[in-house]
Structure 1
């Protein structure tokens, strides 16, 4: 079970390992929160203004990050990233695998200083998105 929290990400260093659709989605969600995002992958095809490191992941890459997102297409590598992050006491999100994540990303509706976040403990993402849509309609 996941506890809903509000994290202050302003100027926090966040590492996203991987450069596919899941990584792009995380960047879109995080950019509103003024975090210092770094994208790490051997190949990065999409354009972004954030720091890019083009290389294969190694545990030493986690140094100095507050949060890590494991967004590769390799489940075994994502789990290794999670294990490495935990050894360093860094919270990690394994995209599409909440059982191996310390936190999950909710469906967020934000207007001004107000935010509404909806999640299903990672079990029904589409339902969370529908609920967010309903909140948007109501407000």
Structure 2
């Protein structure tokens, strides 16, 4: 059973802790800032590689702390991403995160995670998250590639028109929903006819 509940988080309103300073940390930073350019990230690692330093230099909302993780690093944190290959540290942070009700992701260790970082397809305002329930990031990547090719670049223009239509509608919720559904059904039918 896939019991994951998909949500989209406004990272600019939260404080994220990233533990790790190597290639996996860089991958996580890249994903964070590709999706949330205003995210605030505190990065703690005993060693921070040059690629991570270079990335952080271009993103002033990243604060680097080159030292061992301390339990006090969790103070004021809303979300934790572990990019550490230290199993003992990962389990320690998991315990502390649970005690403080902080959501945790541990790279490549689904059993320790409260949430997963899926693949993302983005075309303007349309964002589609893809999850395999932690089973196969490779399949998620292939589905992402497929959807990227399938969705037209013009989808963002359609979304803008739908937003304008939605704002112009009057009446009760049920009537607005009926009109919007009828309009989008026509749009999808046009694509099928092509």
Alignment TM-score, normalising by the size of structure 2: 0.69
| Structure 2 unmatched ranges of 5 or more | 152-194
The corresponding residue for 1:43 is 47
After superposition, give the CA deviation of every residue in 1:14-59 in whole Å (9 maximum; x if it has no partner).
Answer: 0100112211111001113121011110111122232101110111
Q: Quick check: 1:82 aligned with 2:94?
A: yes
| Residues matched between the structures, number | 139
- Assess if the C-alpha contact under 8 Å between 1:79 and 1:94 holds in 2: no
SS for the counterpart of 2:69 is coil
Once the two structures are superposed, residues 55-109 of structure 1 have per-residue CA deviations (whole angstroms, 9 ceiling, x without a partner) of 1011111110110011111122112111111111110001111111000001001
Distance in 2 between the 1:131 and 1:10 partners?
A: 28
Give the gaps of 5 or more residues in structure 1: none
Q: What value does the CA root-mean-square deviation take over the aligned residues? A: 1.1
Which one has a bigger Cα radius of gyration? 2
Matches of 2:20 and 2:97 in 1, distance apart? 15
1:6 to 5, 8, 11: 8
Shift of 1:11: 3.2
| SS of alignment partner, residue 128 of structure 1 | helix
Residue 135 of structure 1 corresponds to 147
Q: Which residue of 2 aligns with 1:17?
A: 19
Q: Select the structure that is richer in strand.
A: 1
Q: State the 4+ residue runs in structure 1 displaced beyond 6 angstroms.
A: none
Write the distance in 2 (CA, Å) between the matches of 1:92 and 1:67. Answer: 6
CA shift, 1:125, in A, is 0.7
- Say if 1:106 and 1:119, in contact at 8 Å, map to a contact too: yes
Counterpart CA distance in 1 for 2:42 and 2:76 is 11
Q: State how far apart, in whole Å, the 1-side matches of 2:31 and 2:123 are.
A: 14
